[in-house]
Structure 1
Amino acid sequence: MAAPPKKLLDQVREAIRIKHYSYRTEESYVYWIRRYILFHNKRHPREMGKAEMEAFLSHLAVEEQVAASTQNQALSALLFLYRYVLNQPFEEPLDALRAKRSRYLPTVLTREEVLAVIEQLSGVYRLVIQVLYGSGLRLTEGLRLRVKDLDFAQRQIIIRDTKGAESRITTLPECLIERLKQHLQGVKRLHQLDLEAGYGSVYLPFALDRKYPNADRDWIWQFVFPSFGLSRDPRSGVVRRHHLHETGVQRAVKQATRAAGIEKRVNCHTFRHSFATHLLQNGYDIRTVQELLGHKDVKTTMIYTHVLNRGGRGVRSPLD
């Protein structure tokens, strides 16, 4: 008896996993494709095309007033659907109304403000934020660090398969080396307890678990910042200890900012912005900062030079 055909969204998930996209990307793409189908009264995407895509994207921009990045994410999901699942790639550019891209300057803390926030943090959350600020990492990059990515001898961190599927090397603050070593001792004890309980495996990217069958239990592949409990992998169903969840760190930063009395909009990414700005203030050249941040285009890094010029670009107010 022939197996029933797979549902469309299951086909989408399968195509995403073949391309080794992250689980977060998988969830967001499925979400936007489902929204697209419901917007057009549950019509099958194969029956729709360029006009329906333009209508949906224009609705997001005009009626829902989403940010440009949100609209672009929806567009990417639909292009993926038609190109890799339905085999109907679009050759012509879409003529949808585009959300206006905002040009905002990122929030940057002074060094004193950074230290004040860190002072209000404790435990593993404090160490996570110290790594984000000290090395200029994105939150997901910090939480996905593996033991093998910390090079204490060279005082560097290797960020692997990050945004854009590329890797880079950034600095490891000397003042965090001993603290990280102590932290890893506790993580290793936890890993040993997991192994004794019949667990101890960790998610490996790019099907490395098939290429190296026992690598998922090796110490070097464990997360530097493991979660507090075991959980079931949503893709494989295997019970594992994943890394810390982003929301816990984000909540801790919000509370610490309030406790420090800082009246700025601060999130975890603020520490990466502050890292870059403070390096430029200390005289490091823009290309060095670009390399440490992993920006493909120096224009992206240039935003921090604009941050340095805030305050009327050095103009003295006549009121002063």
Structure 2
Amino acid sequence: MVHMPLPDAQFPRPRPQRLFHPREEPLAAFPIQSVRIDWARLIAKRPTVLETIDAMPVYLLKPEVLGLLDAEKHPTYRLILDLMWTTGARISEVLALTPASFIHDGYDFGVILKTLKQRPGRPSRAALQRSPRRYVPIVDRLLQDRVQSYLYAGRFRKCQRLFPMTRQTVNRHIGALVERVGGAPFSISSHTFRHSFAIHLLLHGRPLKYVSQLLGHKSIDSTEIYTNVLTIDGGHFLEGVDFH
């Protein structure tokens, strides 16, 4: 790798916006560029997953999440749900976000999450100070725009929390939203979006280690529970094996 010196020891300027500068093609892309997922089949298989896998958390699949997002008209709650679904953040981590949590370096847009376990109420100042941090890219352009518009409209101070509410408040709102769209066969909470994020990435072939890092798990063992969604639909392995 060749490192080019910067003139006069200056930091590089941010890359120009892409309105008149098309995005450059990556030199090396992730091997899996697209997948075909039968969502109806996976939804039909979910009861078997939940009934047969010990400690398997309740999860939603993309069409169901999008249905909830479309039904949510309140901009604050819509953004909270979108952040949990797109970054896998715990609700405590979302409630701790400030404008300074979001980073745009001229190449990528993302958020720095302070790894916080779910506890009642809002995270304490001491918990925020001692918590480890992790960076999660936000590649969805619509969400990038939604975040930036929310920050601009709210005129927040740099270290002001964006969502001054408790986890219980968000969960009550999610419950009301689910009832408004017709109810669900299981209880849905803020943490359901985190589980759904992990499964969504695994369904798209993303490495388990990377998913574990995005979730902020200390051990990959904590992430392996989600792989059961991939293995439960394994009838094709028995195709061609005759028993009679």
SS in 1 for 2:131: coil
Residue of structure 1 equivalent to 2:66:
115
Q: Normalised by the size of structure 2, how large is the TM-score?
A: 0.64
Residue of structure 2 equivalent to 1:46:
none
User: 1:61-118 deviations in whole A, cap 9, x for unaligned?
Assistant: xxxxxxxxxxxxxxxxxxxxxxxxxxxxxxxxxxxxxxxxx94211111100001111
List aligned pairs for 1:224-243, cutoff 5 A.
Answer: 224-225=162-163, 243=164
Contact 2:69 2:82 in 1 (8 A): yes
Residue of structure 2 equivalent to 1:177:
144
User: 1:125-171 deviations in whole A, cap 9, x for unaligned?
Assistant: 11100010011100010111111011134211101253482111112
- The whole-number CA distance in structure 1 between the counterparts of 2:113 and 2:178 is 27
Q: CA deviation at 1:187?
A: 1.8
- C-alpha RMSD of the superposition: 2.2
Q: CA 1:104–1:169 in 2, change beyond 3 Å: closer, same or farther?
A: same
Q: Normalised by the size of structure 1, how large is the TM-score?
A: 0.49
Q: CA 1:263–1:161 in 2, change beyond 3 Å: closer, same or farther?
A: closer
Q: Which has the higher contact order (CA 8 A, sep 6+)?
A: 2
- The whole-number CA distance in structure 2 between the counterparts of 1:248 and 1:274 is 21
Contact 2:57 2:195 in 1 (8 A): yes
Contact 1:152 1:177 in 2 (8 A): no
- The whole-number CA distance in structure 2 between the counterparts of 1:152 and 1:137 is 19
List aligned pairs for 1:294-309, cutoff 5 A.
Answer: 294-309=216-231
Contact 1:132 1:271 in 2 (8 A): yes
Q: CA 1:127–1:158 in 2, change beyond 3 Å: closer, same or farther?
A: same
User: 1:197-224 deviations in whole A, cap 9, x for unaligned?
Assistant: xxxxxxxxxxxxxxxxxxxxxx211112
Alignment coverage as a number of residue pairs: 169
Contact 2:115 2:216 in 1 (8 A): no
SS in 2 for 1:250: helix
Deviates more, 1:160-169 or 1:258-267: 160-169
Structure 2 segments unaligned to the other structure (5+ residues): 1-52, 118-129, 239-244
Residue of structure 1 equivalent to 2:232:
310
Q: Sequence identity, in percent?
A: 29
> Is 1:157 the counterpart of 2:111 in the alignment?
yes
> Is 1:187 the counterpart of 2:108 in the alignment?
no
> Is 1:251 the counterpart of 2:202 in the alignment?
no
1:291 is matched with which residue: 196, 213, 227? Answer: 213
> Is 1:105 the counterpart of 2:43 in the alignment?
no
Q: Higher helix fraction: Structure 1 or Structure 2? A: 1
Name the amino acid aligned to 1:186. Answer: A
Q: CA 1:304–1:222 in 2, change beyond 3 Å: closer, same or farther?
A: same
1:167 is matched with which residue: 129, 133, 149? Answer: 133
Q: Of the two, which has the highest radius of gyration?
A: 1
Contact 1:159 1:169 in 2 (8 A): yes
User: 1:31-76 deviations in whole A, cap 9, x for unaligned?
Assistant: xxxxxxxxxxxxxxxxxxxxxxxxxxxxxxxxxxxxxxxxxxxxxx
Name the amino acid aligned to 2:60. Answer: L
Q: CA 1:308–1:264 in 2, change beyond 3 Å: closer, same or farther?
A: farther
Q: CA 1:176–1:252 in 2, change beyond 3 Å: closer, same or farther?
A: same
- The whole-number CA distance in structure 1 between the counterparts of 2:186 and 2:133 is 32
